Structure 1
Amino acid sequence: MNRMTIYIILGIFALSVIAYFVFRQKPKSELENYLISSQSQSNDRIKNLNLDKPSENASYTLDTNKLSFPDIIRETENMEYKADNEREWVINLTSTESVSFKKSDFDKMFDYDWRSKFHSTIYGFSPEENRWTYADAGDSPEVFSKLQVAVDIQDVFNEETPDYNRQKLKRYIDELEKRIKKYPIKLKIEQSETIESAITKAKKLVQLNQEFNLDAIIVLQADNHFKGIKMWDVLQSVGLKWGDGDLFHWGNDKNYGHDQNFSVWTTTEPGYFFPEEIKHGNMNPQNLIFGFSIPRCADPKNVYAIMLNSVKYCQKRLGGQVLDRNMKPLDEEKSKQELSAFLTRMEHKGLISGSDKALRMF
């Protein structure tokens, strides 16, 4: 066998090996069996598994009549939407020629590259409607007399230990100066406040977030583990709905506060509940974590009381111990007093749980 023949054989062998690794069938991920679905699809999913009918009806535990909500301002068609100077650094764009801003023009300036690298909200004043609104919304007016770029400074400095580097804000000005050169009319950039002033404001917001970004937590800990199929039935019996994030929720249908009054998850991997795994007996959690974000909650005191009653119902049927966030036996009165004191501290800092301001901050 000559040398050329050997090279040809080796080449064919090498190509065969490469083809095997490239074209061989890849093993399927376990997650490929699960789909992101709508609520109706989720309902069909648990119905097909015969997991949709609880054995008891204890939904009276989740009594919405015990909740208190403030008077809610209903949104109207001509409601104004404008920058929030308490949490946003505002950059004004004005025309030096007193010419209006056309949506078709500034949409090109605030393109995908801007939106992906310079997170901000674009507001515009419509002289026709005599109000501020979202300038780049699909149904917004086509012409504005003023534009504002609003930067959420809490979001800019959202690291656990922010360095408050002024360049994080200055980069917005630098980029805008480049972009306005290509705009059809001559524009002027004006900052509503200095970068140093905005950073001072950011420090206060970050401090508030770190101080009050807290969940109310109650743990139902199993002696060993809860049988998954029974756990599923008990959570449904108390009136909770399985859905978003593959967790159980008590939903909030009021136009105030977070979408969920409280939710239930677990520290047992993966942390949430696949109905297929429950049905097949593969998910038997060691605990159930009942909780909600205190600053985002519409009515923390009453939601906590109802959540505690829900935990007690589950304990009655499943067994286990009721623990606090530190995995110590829950002192009910102490936990309620601590929650009340926490809410008082929030109010003293100008924060009302469930308010729009709180929802934006937390």
Structure 2
Amino acid sequence: MLQGNEKQFNSYRLRLARSCRNITKKDLSKLVNVSSLTLTRLEKGNNEPKKETVQLLVKALNFPEAFFFEGIEEDQDKEDLNIKDLSFRSKATIPRKDRNAAYSVRGLAYIVDEWLQNNFNLPDVRVPDLSCDYDPVSASERLRYDWGLGNYPLPNLMKLLESQGVRIFAFSQDTDAIDAFSCWNNGLPYIFVNINKNAERIRFNLCHELGHLVLHRHIHVDGQDRITVDIEKEAHLFASNFLMPEEDIRSCIPNGVVINYLIKAKQRWKVSVAALAYRIRQLGLLSEWHYRNIVIEMQVRNYRKREPNPVKREYSLLWEKIFTMLWQDKITKEQIAKRLNIPYHDFNNLTFGLLDIQNAMIKENGSNIISHVNFR
């Protein structure tokens, strides 16, 4: 029982920290000298831990003690660590350790994003719910119309999504099982992208997750799975149409092209050769015979692992702007992590790979994507 001004232990953050370190309840209970039942009660909020137990948790999980005693009210309305709240751009089977990594990245991102909302004026969310009256193709066309994009190529997709209120965080774990994942929380759209992929794949993954956000916002209701269609195929079709509009493709790509033509043409839409070939076959500009020959040639040239004529990598202008502003006030990423009571390594991983390190933090940036309010 709490006495005086003692702070309440945050059971949600214990579950989050354990997920971050990918430690089982059984293993953690041994590290902190409590029974598995006691640890379960601590994670459910039924018990308050002893002081010595808290110190052992801090040591075992490598989180500051203050992390476990903050955010009680804020965390009450957060989505818990539940796989059904996430939409993955991934292989069908995801190892448990990678799922746990996804849970933890999301949980820490919510804490960081709450700090962002309190200290910066961020772009309004303009990501509509198109799940009822639109199929993937019409949804991509509607969103392009709403965002005033016409049928033109998208030169900087990450900047576009951030300007429409999408929160983008890095998923920096070295895994092939997860390309990206997305979710909604308190009316805010989040995309977590694996930055260990090439630039073309990252762009497509961002669009794939955008498809989930606009088409599949309500596939999970009250913990019940409402999936009635192949949502991965829908998100894939949405991404193809959003990145490579039919009108623009038909105006630029002739019938029966060969692979060397596609290697040059891909720069217009900043996609992979494979994605472009698939798209023009989908639109009937390639016969099945020509398409199969291109696929075989890609395999011979090993283009699946080594993308030809690579496009320039995109970076987050929002995060660059934030860190530049803070740097001007002599505030470092280490100080931010300390104020949030998040280990610096975990905080840095959320933005690592989203920033152009050579240009970020120390240069003036004229972008007006956000405005500074205060720093607490």
TM-score, normalising length: structure 1: 0.25
Bigger radius of gyration among the two: 1
More helix by proportion, 1 or 2? 2
